[in-house]
Amino acid sequence: MELAIIAFRKMLVMFMILIVGVIAYKTKLVTKEGNTTLSNVLLLLVNPFVIFMSFQMDFTKELFIRLWLSILFAVICHTVGIIVSRIAIGKDIKDFEIERIAAIYSNCGFIGIPIITALFGQEGAFYLASYIAVFNILLWTQGYMLITGQKDKKMILKGIMSPCVIAAVLGIICFSLKIRLFAEATEAFNHISAMNTPLAMLVAGVTMAQSDILKAIRYKRLYYICLLKLIVIPLISAVILKLFRADNILTMTSIVEVACPSAASGTMFALRYKRNAVYASEIYVVSTLLSALSLPIVIMISEAIHF
């Protein structure tokens, strides 16, 4: 129950920053183009630093084992999303690609990083880095093939060579070889990492301000997709992960990540590959709003699951 309360309070703080982002767009302080730049800074610079710095911990055999277990958990969570979305969202549905992408992939960077850091500190961020690496690899392989209906080796390579994955690999190498940064570099990189929460929520706010929220909340189909993304898939994942009887912080980190709202990447993919970007944006907005309530609920239920 305590974790659920902390998560709810953290979500409130983040939503306040999100509102500032909405105001910034409405007052033309941040333009659509400016938001794209902020998003790129976040994805290509800040997030990789967050991931790399999360591995700057003292090496222990136990942590090393949990690291690989966290990678397994990330694969399990995404596999659950792929299977459930395929069963629940048929190919006969219009924009099924958009809906499946939204159900499978979480906003594990923008929303997940500040939530996990608040709940579990650096140890949680340590496990989170593995989840984000798996997310990026699968998004640019399975996600790309889903949204385009074709295979492209260049896109698969792009997924494997994305900045977040590279940061995770470098972080794991430094952790395994017990390589620690000198004090000044650690302080500088931690300052860059600290920009994640405000930047992420500002970008989310500006993105939300560009959507027709009133129209989105009246579309009933959206709530079905949000139910799958925010409740069904996370709780199925929670039951499976709890069977491992692993460390609680490791398990709950994975559960919180899969329970985050739909990834902004869904909208980006829709724009890039000429799918229904408006619908993708509406799912992103509504799932983000609903996650303020659903995430604490999932945490509370998951904490009560014991085997």
Spell out the per-residue pLDDT of the chain, length 307, in tens. 688 888 888 888 888 988 999 899 999 999 988 888 887 888 788 888 988 988 898 889 899 999 999 999 999 999 999 999 999 998 888 899 999 999 999 988 778 888 898 899 888 988 998 898 898 888 888 888 888 877 767 766 766 787 888 888 899 999 999 999 999 999 999 999 888 888 878 887 887 788 777 777 788 899 999 999 999 999 999 999 999 999 999 999 999 999 999 987 787 777 777 788 778 888 988 898 899 899 999 999 999 998 7
DSSP character string of the chain: -HHHHHHHHHHHHHHHHHHHHHHHHHTTSS-HHHHHHHHHHIIIIIHHHHHHHHT-S---HHHHHHHHHHHHHHHHHHHHHHHHHHHHS-TTSTTHHHHHHHHH-B-TTTTHHHHHHHHHHHHHHHHHHHHHHHHHHHIIIIIHHHHHSS--HHHHHHHHTSHHHHHHHHHHHHHHTT----HHHHHHHHHHHTTHHHHHHHHHHHHHHTS-HHHHHT-HHHHHHHHIIIIIHHHHHHHHHHTTT--HHHHHHHHHHHTSPBPTHHHHHHHHTTS-HHHHHHHHHHHHHHHHHHHHHHHHHHHH---
**What pLDDT is recorded for position 148?**
81
Q: What CATH architecture is 2-304?
A: Up-down Bundle (1.20)
List the chain domain ranges: 2-304
